[in-house]
Chain A
């Protein structure tokens, strides 16, 4: 469904992604682990096209999308959420979700009707709001709601495009353990055919939801396999926990 081949990116002399090759099957849930500065977010930025890699290729649903721009990749079913909330602050939550759904449905340039009133968009907004637990807050303006709710909306917007592949960049960063747990439930309730790639710091969450685990360190894939294998891996402990202790 989503594949990278030898993806490489440098900023000046620093290689932030070193020949990363990943392959996600349809419906796979993969968690990317790695210390700060391992190149996880840079990898995401390359996957969606916000950063252009120096070498290597990206394939989405069998097609090479390396040369496609951000919006074109999004239209092919790739969606992402951001580590730092990237919302429409002055709009209501309903409008945020509606806008995302409208754009994904190709209604973002339409002139003749209000997409937020269209049945498809309203249906998507209702569904996504139920999924990410935002139904009670739909008419609140983003700038007036709590950080936790914004965090849910961040993922909600990504889901409102009804993607084939969703990339989530630390969806639970900065929220409490209670909300983190709620997020586990959310992830498990998502349709099984949705392919999910998550950057996560919380190891428990990672092992709870992951079908497979990839560990990045200094821009390199140092582990790629099943969670059970990762759990016992001395390598993972050394790199990941070692870096934690350093930090």
Chain B
């Protein structure tokens, strides 16, 4: 089950301190990258929650993010809602759709689950792409940033926006960690390992899966709102399955089922993308090769690799266990 080991807590503390410190040191470009990392981090924490802990490998999280982005933009521009209720509405819509997808796909496992989520994601993509209401291929512009003028914060400033984005990552992390410690989270991990037994113990499996997927979907929707607020322009490409695929890549690079790992993965991915794409237009190929190497190495991403290394060096956990036995 999910654990906050000292290593993970230290990593989290360093990440929080480092990113906040960076917001004050960085220039405009650095702050933009920081916001981009934050958006990806929220999406991959959401994905890790269901894929890493529940074994529900989803290829529709890009679409759920896109739904959040579109719903927020439409609610704020067409319906004239202010940012906060528009965000709430967008997150609720993403959660509701994710609940429906989770319920429908609850019977599918393995590759069938992956395919089914892919299908739903593409359905959303096609719908947005074709519907004139959403601007089609041209996308939509004009998503506002929340107005925090009342407390003296101007989110149009990229430093303030980066801090706001980092805070939302922290909120996301706390929601995911709390979910994993709840009864639902315990069941979710149990479902990953033995669905049949949990059913025999009296768990309504489809509802547990759908609820977990809905929470993950809500977080993906939040990432979508943030993405819309960041670029203030959205296009159907946000819903594309390759966004979901990239999110999965980030989770794998960081460490599946570790929550901390995906955040590290998001940092690595965005930084690598900018660094490599400055050198060569073929940065996707480099990412592809890294991905293949990581998966073939069988290490569980960066975090898994480090934890496995530490475990072989220090036999301390074994000693503890022996004490408990005696």
Contact = CB atoms under 8 A, between A and B. Distances in A.
B325 A103 contact: no
Contact of A90 (B181, B184, B187, B193): B193
Contact of A88 (B181, B182, B193, B203): B193
Interface stretch (B103-111, B112-120, B194-202, B289-297): B194-202
Interface in A77-111: 79-80, 82, 86-91, 95, 98-100, 102-104, 107-111
Nearest to A101: B201
Given A115-B186, A136-B325, A74 B193 contact: no
Contacts of B231: none
A99 B201 CA distance: 9
Nearest to A116: B186
Contacts of B179: 111
Interface in A120-160: 136-140, 157
A104 B189 contact: no
B289 to A, nearest CB: 31
Contact of B201 (A100, A109, A115, A138): A100
A108 B186 contact: yes
Q: How large is the interface on A (under 10, 10 to 19, 20 to 34, 35 or more residues)?
A: 35 or more
A111 B200 contact: no
A196 interface: no
Interface residues of chain B: helix, strand, loop or mixed (majority): helix
A188 B190 CA distance: 31
B207 interface: yes
A21 to B, nearest CB: 24
B267 interface: no
Given A88-B190, A109-B204, A103 B184 contact: no
Given A86-B197, A91-B1, A95-B1, A103 B202 contact: yes
A102 B202 contact: no
Interface string A171-208: 00000000000000000000000000000000000000
Nearest to A154: B197
A50 interface: yes
Given A115-B183, A139-B324, A108 B202 contact: yes
A23 to B, nearest CB: 23
B187 A108 contact: yes
Contacts of A75: 202
Nearest to A111: B182
A88 B194 contact: yes
Contacts of B182: 110-115
A71 B190 contact: no
Interface string B196-219: 111111111101100100000000
B321 interface: yes
B234 to A, nearest CB: 31
Contacts of A79: 200-201
A95 to B, nearest CB: 6
Contacts of A72: 202
A110 B183 contact: yes
A99 B325 contact: no
Interface in B166-182: 179, 181-182
Nearest to A89: B193
Given A95-B1, A102-B183, A157 B207 contact: no
B261 to A, nearest CB: 17
Interface of B: 1, 179, 181-184, 186-187, 189-190, 193-194, 196-205, 207-208, 211, 321, 324-326
Given A79-B200, A80-B200, A104-B202, 11 more contacts: A86-B200, A87-B197, A89-B194, A91-B1, A99-B198, A103-B198, A104-B201, A111-B182, A111-B211, A115-B186, A136-B325
18 contacts: A71-B200, A87-B194, A87-B197, A89-B194, A91-B189, A95-B1, A102-B187, A103-B187, A108-B187, A108-B198, A109-B207, A110-B183, A110-B184, A111-B179, A111-B183, A111-B211, A113-B182, A139-B321
